[in-house]
Amino acid sequence: MISARDRAARALLTDVGTMPSSLHEALRDVFRDDPMLAAELLRQMHRWPDDAPDRAALVDPTVRQNVAPSLAVDAALVFYRGERAVIVALVEVQLAVDHEKPWDWPVYACALRREHRCPFVLLVVSPDANVARWANEPLALGPGAEMRVAVLGPDEVPWVRDASEARRRPSLAFLSAVAHGNAGPAGIDAVFAAISAVGELEEARARTYTAALWDALDASAQRALEVAMATNDPAIESNFERRMREIFEARGEARGEARGEARGEARGEARGEARGEARAEARVLDTMRSALLQAFADRPLAVSDAQRAAIERCADSAKLARWLVRAAVAESVDDALSR
């Protein structure tokens, strides 16, 4: 039995290439699934009304017109204070510059403002800093009139690097990983925090988010993530994948021994469980230490005697796993072992 995080990580390789436009789809769905996330981010960006809403509703995003084909935003969210609509937030995902969109955005906004009889805010979401800068340009509507959209680019997305925080806010953790996942070792921390959270979601949503997260990562970040995945075909797996598969298998033995010996008598249960867990945990730690040293050798990065001793002394599997992931992208051994 693999953990939720491991299951989500495996889904990344399984789903790559099977879900067209998965990043756009997932960035759209993250606001449909968690409408109050838009409120939280817009408040942070100072684009939110003082009369704070207390609930949100996902509404039809289609803009109907008599003079042109219907248009649709990626998500339309109406926020209410009691029974009164306070603001309608229109969410548009932009992965690339599209010079037609600034002509459409005022149409979306004014049509939904009219339909819901409340002010609007248009939130453009882009994980690409260059696209975000483009979208942030004011839209000229006429002499003395312009429209400004709220742009959620990488700089506006909060960092989520702690797994417990990520599990409390999986939608925000996913956005953080997409925005910051390519920012070296710190970005990989954000990716693994997101995976720990996304892996606990229902399966269809987890698959969408994990495949999209893979699409958002560059080659070095993808390589770092691969170390946490078990492959189905040992003949084609990378060295990192093979070493992490061994770790996952050792962890599986630990769980299996603990469960099997727990079926014994009450007195034997405690002794057998302790022995089984201790033996399996020792194998996990030995495997992880060897994998880490080999990872540095593969780069190659020179490991000092003091660093080797610190690795050999480490009995914290979570810390060793973190070091192993960081070893794929860190510029030095010191950098990999810094957290």
Which residues are registered as beta bridge partners of 251?
Answer: none
Model confidence at 12, pLDDT cuts 50, 70, 90, reads very low
Which of 145 and 14 is assigned the larger pLDDT? 145
Query: CA nearest 327: which of 338, 316, 317, 318?
Result: 338
- Helix (H) or strand (E) segment spanning residue 133: helix 129-135
| Rounded Cα gap, residues 256 and 271, in angstroms | 16
Q: Higher pLDDT residue, 177 or 296? A: 177
Decide if pLDDT at 270 tops 70. no
Question: Which residues is 92 bridged to in the sheet?
Answer: 124
Confidence tier at 105 by pLDDT (50, 70, 90)? very high
pTM score, two decimals? 0.64
List the chain domain ranges: 4-156, 227-339
Q: Model confidence at 69, in pLDDT bands (50, 70, 90)?
A: low
- Torsion of Cα atoms, 134 then 138 then 139 then 144, to 10°: -160
Q: How many CB atoms lie within 10 A of CB 169?
A: 17
Environment class of residue 255 by beta-carbon count within 10 Å: exposed (0-12), middle (13-18) or buried (19+)? middle
C-alpha 182/C-alpha 132 separation (Å) is 17
**pLDDT given at position 276:** 55
Rounded-to-integer distance, Cα 81 and Cα 55, Å? 7
- In a 3-state reduction of DSSP, which class is residue 61? coil
What pLDDT, on a 0 to 100 scale, did the predictor assign at position 222? 78
**CA dihedral sign of residues 209, 215, 218, 221:** positive
The two structure tokens encoding residue 160: 């989520």
Instruction: Taking residues 76-104, report their average pLDDT.
Output: 93
The one-letter code for the residue type at 28 is: R
Q: Of the ranges 36-50, 238-252, 278-292, which one carries the lowest mean pLDDT score?
A: 238-252
Using the predicted structure, report yes or no on whether residue 62 has a pLDDT greater than 80.
no
| 8 A C-beta contact, residue 208 and residue 25 | yes
Asked if 194 contacts 217 with a C-beta cutoff of 8 angstroms, the reply is no
Q: Residue 94 has what pLDDT?
A: 95
- Amino acid letter, 83: E
Please give the pLDDT value at position 228.
Answer: 53
More confident of the two residues 36 and 242: 36
